[in-house]
Amino acid sequence: MTDATPTPLNVAMVGHGFMGAAHSQAFRVAPRFFDLPLAPVMSTLVGRNVEATAKAAEKWGWQKTANDWREVVADPSIDLIDICSPGSTHVDIAVAALEAGKHVLCEKPLGNTVDEAELMAAAAAKAAERGVFAMVGFTYRRVPAITFARDLVAQGRLGEIRRIQANYLQDWLVDEDGPMTWRLDKAKAGSGSLGDIGAHAIDAVQFITGQTLESVSGLLHTFVTERPLLDESVEQTSLGGVASDERGRVTVDDSALFTARLSGGALGQFEATRFATGRKNAFRIEISGSKGAIAFDLERENELEFYDASAPATELGFKRILVTEPEHPYYAAWWPTGHTLGYEHGFSHQLVDLLDALAAHRQPTPSFADGLQVQRVLDAVERSSDAGSAWTPTH
């Protein structure tokens, strides 16, 4: 082996649904576009259903399968455990993996409760002392336009941040006869739109502004309280399934609204819903400061709008920036200027950042401590809603 040859990193991934597919794509693609210090080896795919797991492994290129995550945690050849399974499984897998000396990448939100997230953060802090690291997958940090927005704020281009609006709008649950999934079961998912997509809004705003949400006033609501159960006699896909005649109770929120006070003095308005009819994946962020403003929409993810308040009055207005230049974050490894990126590229960028950090023996970000902080915000929103939208601290 020469110095130019990256060191192999054997990976086991738990779960092979929607996020499992996105992560698998990253493991396949990132090494072919980026010069990585570590070479991820797609060693083992873990899933409970033997046949479905085998099909997914063959499709995505995993070398072998397992049906119990404990097998891969105990496997001395595995270096990294990637957790893409429902939230209820995160704490047990992550803590066991870290204690066994495995690096961990865990999908968001970190756990289903603050107590679970605290256990995971504590295990990660202890493991880090031994050079074993954990990262939580807030992938939107790796969208070039969002990273570029963070850079503009850090450079002082917006001045003092005063106003924030972040909306994550989807409509895939509008049909009240859409079948139950694990995402609608609080025991498995922890929360509904709040934790599923609201967590992204919280992390992205904190990432861009460098401020944390210190107190919140929230309102949660469930519009459809019962849905058809999935027909277990029919093979289901990762994104949906066939409904039966039996109905089950929805135990999570369908929509979340909350206001927030941030550590730097800014005020924020947040919305997360899967009932915004006509909106498929509209993640929108607008941040206003004393010197300028930025606006982003994930449905136009290669663009960032920028307002420079110092421009002459005759030139004032939001400017559309196409974030596809080699000087923009992550972009130099990809295509010629103007040839845009898509949703899946964020997962490749996430892997690049993780492997760079692991090779340098430094803590990757966002850390489990960062994931715990977001979990505390989610918990505060829920407690505020239960108390009648009272202002609730996040710590």
In this prediction, residue 383 carries a pLDDT of: 96
Task: Give the mean pLDDT of 131-147.
Answer: 98
pLDDT value of position 395: 85
In this structure, the strands spanning 213-221 and 226-230 are unpaired
Give the chain's end-to-end CA distance (angstroms, integer).
Answer: 49
State the average pLDDT for the chain: 95
Confidence at residue 389, expressed as pLDDT on a 0 to 100 scale: 79
The residue ranges of every structural domain in the chain are 7-139, 143-365+372-393
Mean pLDDT to the nearest integer, 53-81: 98
Report pLDDT for 391.
84
One fold for both 7-139 and 143-365+372-393?
A: no
Q: What pLDDT, on the 0 to 100 scale, is given for residue 358?
A: 98
**Residue 310 pLDDT exceeds 80:** yes
Q: Do residues 89 and 107 touch, judged by C-beta distance below 8 A? A: no
CA dihedral for 173, 179, 181, 184, sign (positive or negative): positive
CATH top-level class of 7-139: alpha beta
pLDDT at 238 over 90: no
Q: Which residue has the higher pLDDT, 238 or 250?
A: 250
| Res. 253: pLDDT tops 90 | yes
Q: Is 60 a residue whose pLDDT tops 60?
A: yes
pLDDT at 245: 78
Count of C-beta atoms within a 10 Å radius of residue 109: 31
pLDDT at 2: 45
Q: pLDDT of 324-368, one tens digit each?
A: 999 999 999 999 999 999 999 999 999 999 999 999 999 999 999
Tell me the percentage of the chain whose pLDDT exceeds 70: 96
d(CA 300, CA 281): 10
Q: Are 368 and 121 in contact (CB under 8 A)?
A: yes
For residue 390, name the pLDDT band (cuts at 50, 70, 90): confident
- CB atoms closer than 10 angstroms to residue 189: 20
Task: With cut-offs at 50, 70 and 90, classify the pLDDT of residue 241.
Answer: low
The mean per-residue pLDDT over the stretch 33-49 comes to: 97
Q: 159 — alpha (psi -120 to 50), left (phi > 0) or beta?
A: left
pLDDT digits (tens, 9 = 90+) for 155-214: 999 999 999 999 999 999 999 999 999 999 999 999 999 999 999 999 999 999 999 999
| Residue tagged 């086991």 (tokens) | 12
| Vertex 200: Cα angle to 199 and 206 (nearest 5) | 90
Confidence band of 3 (pLDDT split at 50, 70, 90): low
CATH level 3 topology of 143-365+372-393:
Dihydrodipicolinate Reductase; domain 2 (3.30.360)
Which pLDDT score is estimated for 124? 98
pLDDT digits (tens, 9 = 90+) for 362-382: 999 999 999 999 999 999 999
Please report the pLDDT score of residue 234 as a whole number.
Answer: 53
